[in-house]
Amino acid sequence: MRNNQAGVTLVLSLLVLTVVTAVATALSILIINEVLNTRGITSSVKSFYGAEVGIEQGLWLVQKARRDGTSIEDAANLLAGGQQLSDPRVQWTRLAEVKSESITINLRKDESAFFELYTPDDQIGMGVGPPSELSITFEECAAGPTKVEATWTGWKAGVGFFEPSYKSYPIPCNGTSISLEDPINDPERFRLQLRAFDGAATKLTFVVKDEAHTIINLSSQIKITVTGEYPSGSLTSSSQAIEAKVPWLIPISGIFSYAVFSEEDIIKN
């Protein structure tokens, strides 16, 4: 009888030991995961703030390049690079991209898009000709009777926008070339509006050329991408990326693509 009791006690002891071991293992796994998660959050926060340092410095460099009369291409080259912070385990790398040659967008039905067309380096006396010709194409015309309208208005420093605005409608989907001209004034920049009627315009692409029919880089903005990493060079490092798009020149106007109707008088202050 005692032998049977001893056997039962041994089995119960083994069962209890197994349960305790399983619970302890589960708790250990939870604790380890929490520690790893906490460490991952810490690494993510440090890498994010490392990237933010690179973005802030990049924005300052853009402002400085404008004041110094640097070309937009040289400014983008100055922005490229990397740096370690006071903590050598935190570092960031920065890339800068300049818009060039063409811009492609998608427009929903009745949606508008606004762009400023100019040669950035001409603003600092590089002698590049002003925008003169606009080539536009878009795809998927068979999907519906999509019509695209282009409207452009000239602008000059100290004068503002010129009247009248010029318009081309409809633009065929197989492409068209529009002469960007103002026979009365001599604009330095153009404000362009593209609007889709009756249907969506897919992959609407446009390029701008000068009077010599040479493509002008549409470098109206610099895109800065900064990736922060912590701890640097580790297999368990965390990376966070921040992107900022910076206009090379201050926008010439704020434009809203909608109309406001009111039964009462609207007073603009």
Query: What is the pTM for the complete model shown?
Result: 0.58
Helix (H) or strand (E) holding 68: helix 2-68
CA 136 distance to own-chain centroid: 22
Distance CA 75, CA 79 (A): 6
For residue 206, give the DSSP letter: E
Instruction: Round the average pLDDT of the chain to a whole number and report it.
Output: 76
Place of tokens 């002003």: 130
Tokens of 194: 């593209």
**Joined tokens for residue 260:** 């406001």
Q: Across-strand partners of 247? A: 221
Return the pLDDT at 126. Answer: 38
* Paired sense of beta strands 176-179 and 189-197, if any: unpaired
Report pLDDT digits (tens) over 111-135: 888 887 776 655 443 344 567 778 8
Can you give the pLDDT at residue 124?
Answer: 41
Q: Among 204, 249, 253, which Cα is nearest to 75's?
A: 249
Copy the structure tokens of residue 255: 């434009």
Rounded to an integer, what distance in angstroms lies between the CA atom of residue 165 and that of residue 255?
A: 15
Q: Please determine, looking at this structure, whether the domain spanning 103-216 carries the CATH number 2.60.120.
A: yes
Q: Tell me the pLDDT band of 5, cut-offs 50, 70 and 90.
A: low
**Is there a cis peptide before residue 187, judged by omega within 30 degrees of 0?**
no
